[in-house]
Structure 1
Amino acid sequence: MPQATHEGVLQFGTIEIEVAVLDNGQRVITQSGFMVGLGRLRPPKGRHYYRSGPNLPAFLTVQSLKPFIGEDLFAIADQIEFRTKQGVKAFGYAPNFLPKVCDVFVRAQHAGVLKATQHDIANRAQIIAKQLARSCTMRLIDEATSYQEIRETQTRRNTYRREE
């Protein structure tokens, strides 16, 4: 199981989302950071869900969101199992999962189909989406975890080796 070598927090104004870089080079948005960042502290109750892939977070399976969720989101919804730097088992998502989920909520809000309890998620999603539009999610994760320093050192080392 991959282990986090670098951990950090993405900042989107007052919204914080925990991220990590794993020992295999994979970047992840932690599941807990993802949920807290979007304002989902616990699963919604009393909702009507549709059948979805086994790894789609429950709050995305609400019937009103179904028209806004495409196959591309299902394709990247698989959870990534890893160990934190402290060795604790954790789950996360690929970096491109966050902007896709934000897009679902932004489009659903514009269509006027969200329930009152989903507006906070949509507002947070809009803040995150605006900032992600300006920058690559993987680059932001590298900066939040200080991994860009390692990556730059590796790039220089590889360039030096090629010149030999």
Structure 2
Amino acid sequence: MPQATHEGVLQFGTLEIEVAVLDNGQRVITQSGLMMGLGRIRPPTGRQYYRSGAHLPAFLTVQSLKPFIGEDLVTIANQTEFRTKQGVKAFGYAPDFLPKVCEVFARAQHAGVLKATQHSIASRTQIIAEQLERSCMMRLIDEATSYQEIRKTQRNTYRSEE
């Protein structure tokens, strides 16, 4: 099971989403960080939190969002199981999962099909989407975890070996 080597928090205004870089170089958005960042109060409980079929978080499986969820989102919804730096088992999503979730809520809001309980998530995803328009998700994770320093060192090492 991969181990987190770097952990951090993405800041989107007042919203915070936990992220990590794993020992295999993979960047992840933690499941708990995603849920808390989107205002989902109930903490996730790993894979049991998902309904059968697509491995989407429960808040994305509501009927009103179904027309806005493409196969690309379903494909990247699979979680990565990993251990935090403290050794605790955790789950994470690929970096491109968050922008896709933002797109779903933007399209659903534009279509006027969001339920009252979904407006808070839509507001949060709009804040996140606005910042993501200006920055690459991978770069944001690297900056939040201080991994960009490791990446620079690795790049310089590779150049000197050439």
Quickly name the TM-score band, shorter chain normalised: over 0.9
Using the aligned pairs only, state the percent identity: 80
Task: Decide whether the 8 Å contact of 1:65 with 1:108 is kept in 2.
Answer: yes
Q: CA deviation at 1:40?
A: 1.0
Determine the structure 2 residue equivalent to 1:146.
146
Question: How big is each residue's C-alpha offset from its partner over 1:116-136, in whole Å with a ceiling of 9 and x where there is no partner?
Answer: 110000000000011011111
* Equivalent residue number for residue 70 of structure 2: 70
Which residues of structure 1 form unaligned runs of 5+? Answer: 44-49
Letter in 1 for 2:109: Q
- Secondary structure (helix, strand or coil) at the match of 1:134 reads coil
Conservation of the 8 A alpha-carbon contact between 1:51 and 1:61: no
Q: How many Å apart are 1:101 and its aligned residue?
A: 0.4
Q: Which of the pair has more CA radius of gyration?
A: 1
Query: Where do residues 1-164 of structure 1 align in structure 2 (5 Å cutoff)?
Result: 1-42=1-42, 52-53=53-54, 55-162=55-162
Deviation at 1:52, TM superposition (A): 3.9
SS of 2:9's equivalent? strand
Whole-angstrom CA distance in 2 between matches of 1:128 and 1:118? 15
Judge conservation of contact 1:52–1:61 (CA < 8 Å) in 2: no
In 1, the alpha carbon distance for the partners of 2:144 and 2:42 equals 26
Runs of 4+ in 1 over 4 A off after TM superposition: none
Q: What is the SS of the residue equivalent to 1:82?
A: strand
Which runs of 5 or more residues in structure 2 are unaligned? Answer: 44-50
- Give the alignment's TM-score, normalised by structure 2: 0.93
Aligned pairs, how many? 155
| TM-score, normalising length: structure 1 | 0.92
Residue 67 of structure 1, CA deviation: 0.4
Is the contact between residue 31 and residue 91 of structure 1 (CA under 8 Å) also seen in structure 2? Answer: yes
